[in-house]
Amino acid sequence: MKPRAIAVAVLSTLALSSPAAHAQPAPAVNPLDVIPDKMPFDVPYGTPIALDRAQAVIAAAIAEAAKHNWKEGVAVVDSGGNLVAFARMDGTQLAAATIAEHKARTAVTFRRDTKVFETNVQNGLVYQLTLDGVIASRGGIPLVDDGKLIGAIGVSGATGSQDEVCAKAGAATVNK
């Protein structure tokens, strides 16, 4: 062996056998270990949304979608997660019906926008996907009247960001 090759082999062996080469990295801080002072998303459930109000929420969401020529399915569920009203614009993909209802049900069940789940999953908190009934896609927003959760809107059919724009327009008829 040439002297240079011997030197490289010796240095490599020393580097691999040093204590630093076998040291384990410090464990990452688990964000789930943080204990908040208050319970997040603690909105009390209220009287279920009525049909006429649910239809007004849907009309506002569809009007927003129509302004942009987006094709959307819009669902409104009550405070118990039961479907109150649904509308699907002409040409909307068939999957939008099921997905819109799922988004609405997730938003009311967990008392938060479905965008929260999407963001958390993107940030590595994938454990949330193990929770029953979660959809980690924006477009589901709780409907809160006078501080009480009365239902939720779910919108699907376009991109997540487009769904969210329409859901916000519908939710604005209730959430003041």
Instruction: Look at residue 33 in the predicted model and tell me its pLDDT.
Output: 87
On whether the CB atoms of residues 73 and 87 are closer than 8 A, the answer is yes
Does the predicted TM-score (pTM) go above 0.85?
no
User: What stretches in the chain show pLDDT beneath 70?
Assistant: 1-22
For the domain 51-171, what is the CATH code? 3.30.450.150
User: How confident is the model over 43-58, as pLDDT tens digits?
Assistant: 999 999 999 999 999 9
Contact 160, 68 (CB under 8 A): no
Domain ranges for the chain: 3-33, 51-171
R_g of the chain, CA atoms, integer Å = 25
